[in-house]
Amino acid sequence: MFRIEIERDLCITCGNCVNECDKLFELIDDKSTLIGGEINEDNFSIKEYGDISCGIDSAEMCPVKCIIVYEDDVAIV
């Protein structure tokens, strides 16, 4: 199981994540957000996935590294 978390307070709205993987990411209120994900009280957008395909590429393209990808609760990006 994979989980992606976006620390939205760090997002600079460059759009790299959306350009790389528009099936997982969108910009809401000028911040990266996971489509269908929840935003918690710490302003993290979080969602679990069985397959994240281009999500890893998006995390690697983020210039401020606000996207964290976990596999089985271990950070891989």
Q: Give the separation between CA 11 and CA 18, rounded to whole angstroms.
A: 12
What is the distance between the terminal CA atoms of the chain, rounded to a whole angstrom? 15
Residue type for 49, please?
Y
Contact indicator for 12, 63 with CB cutoff of 8 Å: yes
> Mean pLDDT across the chain, nearest whole number?
97
pLDDT tens digits along 25-49? 999 999 999 999 999 999 999 999 9
% of the chain residues with pLDDT over 90: 99
pLDDT of 16 higher than 90: yes
At a CB cut-off of 8 Å and minimum separation 6, what does 36 contact? 47
User: How confident is the model at residue 53, as a pLDDT?
Assistant: 84
Structure tokens at 9: 């307070």
